[in-house]
Amino acid sequence: MTTPPPARVGDPAGAIDTPALVIDLDAFDRNLDRMAAFAKETGMRVRPHAKTHKSPMVAWLQIERGAVGQCCQKVAEAEILVDAGISDVLVSNQVVGEAKVARLAALARRARISVCADDPLQVDAYAAAARRFGVEIHVLVEIDVGAARCGVAPGAPAVDLARRIAEADGLTFDGVQAYHGSAQHIRGFLERGKAIELAGESLAMTVDALAAAGLECRTIGGAGTGSFRFETGSGLWNELQPGSYCFMDADYARNLGEDGSEGLEFEHALFVASTVMSASAPGRAVVDAGHKAASVDSGLPTVWQRRDTDYVSASDEHGKLSLSAAASPLGLGDRVWLVPGHVDPTVNLHDWYVGVRGGLDDGHVESVWPVAARGALT
């Protein structure tokens, strides 16, 4: 059920079959280097998020550059990372259900495994499984720092849960998970900073209360591609969990910088290669990439380096482009590079990454990597 790769190593980039998920390896390497340099400068631990890339190959390239390990959201993702030899994995999520928790504990025989909790029932289940498998599981208390999704309330409820973890045989209390997901996409720089400032207040209060209870946090984790400079600047967090920075997407491109301008701190390095399959009316072209090739949950794809051409609507297998009168025309068979609206669910639609070196149009295929954790839902 894995589809054939849309290209072979050595092919010219123009020979990639479409739709295909393509990495501009030059931009991608620069993105990895930039985050690694930031970590070195600031002394922050970086644990990139594999929910974005779902690829042990990408994970290893991050770890080679100093990342302390990986985080992911699902046990099935963690299994694939550990199978690829990655020795430090955080499931930055709650794991619920006997079978899933058993799989988590089994992984802890082969790697350092951490997981989040926001409920005593989870803690008890983790502990029982850890004892059954004879392992130690590291547990972070997730606190709700403003996203109103998962997480206990800051302060006393977090201390109660941390104590339960610390006292459980088989578990190690590792610290606090304080991730503000919805803040990543607040467009204004100051407003985004403000959201993280408020998150920091909840976090500081919680860490103080934990310390007063004799519970030390080895890890204070959170932050994403949209906010990691704020968490770093606060001096409160010590571990960053950015995912999208390696690839970027059209949604992140709408975040504003300090001077109010759009401007990415990292480069677009991930594209959906598409082909014009119909051009039956003036000013219109239809490409072969719709919902099943690029997720639209955070907006439509944008068209890369074609002025005056917009991707105006998606259906399952079609993307409709609108060309202004000034746009250079598009004909049947022409290649169009799309920047996905949202990287993570787009990656999850594809079986293969095609890595291109030397430019999307004139370069060649240097790598074909499986999206190994594609569909790893459980």
Chain residues that interact with a copy of itself, rule: CB under 8 A: 1-3, 6, 17-20, 51, 73-74, 76, 93-97, 99-100, 118-119, 121-122, 144, 148-153, 181, 275-281, 284, 286, 288, 291-293, 295-297, 314-318, 320, 332-333, 342, 344-345, 348-351, 370-372, 374-378
DSSP 15: G
Nearest distance from residue 364's CB to a copy of itself, in Å?
A: 18
Structural contact between residues 242 and 48, judged by C-beta atoms closer than 8 angstroms: yes
Nearer to a copy of itself, 232 or 295 (CB): 295
> What are the backbone dihedrals phi and psi of residue 88, each rounded to the nearest 5 degrees, phi first?
-145, 105
- CA 97/CA 170 separation, integer angstroms: 18
| 338, 272 Cβ separation under 8 angstroms | yes
Contact 371, 345 (CB under 8 A): no
Q: Pick the closer one to a copy of itself by CB: 44 or 272.
A: 272
The smaller minimum CB distance to a copy of itself, of residues 39 and 141, is found at 141
The residues, ordered by sequence, that sit 6+ positions from 258 with a Cβ below 8 Å of its Cβ are 189
User: Is 186 or 349 the residue whose CB approaches a copy of itself more closely?
Assistant: 349
CB of 289 to a copy of itself, least distance (A): 8
Name the residue nearer to a copy of itself (CB basis): 20 or 199: 20
As measured in angstroms, the least distance from the Cβ of 295 to a copy of itself is 7
User: Collapsing DSSP states into helix, strand and coil, what is residue 129?
Assistant: helix
CB of 42 to a copy of itself, least distance (A): 27
Q: In the bound complex, what is the minimum distance in angstroms from residue 283's beta carbon to a copy of itself?
A: 11
Q: Which residues pair with 45 in a beta bridge?
A: 239
Task: Point out which residues pair with 221 in neighbouring strands.
Answer: 177, 239
> Between 114 and 122, whose beta carbon lies closer to a copy of itself?
122
| 92 in Cβ contact with 179 (< 8 Å) | yes
Q: What is the 3-state secondary structure (H, E, C) of 68-111?
A: CCEEECCHHHHHHHHHCCCCEEEECCCCCCHHHHHHHHHHCCCC
Considering beta carbons, is residue 77 or 88 the nearer one to a copy of itself? 77
CB of 28 to a copy of itself, least distance (A): 21
Exposure on the CB side of residue 82, measured as CA atoms within 13 A = 23
Task: Compute the least distance from the CB of residue 40 to a copy of itself, in Å.
Answer: 29
